[in-house]
Amino acid sequence: MLKNVLIVGLGGFAGSIARYLAYVLIDKRFPSAYPLSTLSVNIIGSFILGIITGFMLKTSVANDTLRLLLAVGFCGSFTTFSTFAYENLFFINQKLIPTALIYIFASLILGLLAVFAGHWVGKTML
């Protein structure tokens, strides 16, 4: 149990650093009132999770340690549902309902497309 907790923590450590770096790079390169950095990390994280799950289904390399490290730890901390929820609350409180709806639907549709695409890529690797 402790080993698994540490493995998830290690993946989470790397994922949270990657998320912070993505925010810094995206926000500096593309300043916007729209939450491009959150949308980006959630779409990229969905794609990465799809690759991991597709690859693990296909290969004998798949094991619980790899799943805990990459899928649970890294992807779990790289993506951010709570920030997504807060940003939508902000839009709604500012009476920016169309912006909130576009953000919600874009996140949902692009996230699903990304995980499906990543899963396909993962299954076709090797």
Q: What is the DSSP letter of 61?
A: T
pTM over 0.85: yes
Question: Is 11 annotated among the ligand-binding residues?
Answer: no
Q: What is the pLDDT of residue 58?
A: 79
Q: Average pLDDT in the 88-114 region?
A: 97
Q: Average pLDDT in the 60-66 region?
A: 78
Q: How many residues does the chain have?
A: 126
Residue 116 has pLDDT above 80, yes or no: yes
Q: What is the pLDDT of residue 62?
A: 64
Q: What is the DSSP letter of 79?
A: S
Q: How far apart are CA 126 and CA 122, in angstroms?
A: 9
Residue 63 has pLDDT above 90, yes or no: no
Q: What is the pLDDT of residue 120?
A: 96
Q: How far apart are CA 88 and CA 98, in angstroms?
A: 11
Question: Regarding predicted confidence, which is higher, 83 or 62?
Answer: 83
**Cβ(103)–Cβ(34) below 8 Å:** yes
Q: What are the tens digits of pLDDT across the range 21-57?
A: 999 999 889 988 889 999 999 999 999 999 999 998 8
Q: Residue 49 belongs to what domain range? A: 2-124
Identify the CA nearest to 86 among candidates 120, 36, 48, 35: 35
Domain count, the chain: 1
Q: What is the pLDDT of residue 61?
A: 65
Q: What is the DSSP letter of 59?
A: -
Question: Is 79 annotated among the ligand-binding residues?
Answer: yes
Q: What is the pLDDT of residue 33?
A: 81
Q: How far apart are CA 29 and CA 106, in angstroms?
A: 21
Q: What is the pLDDT of residue 126?
A: 66
Distances (CA, A) of 106 to 63, 74, 100, 126: 33, 23, 10, 32
Q: Average pLDDT in the 78-86 region?
A: 95
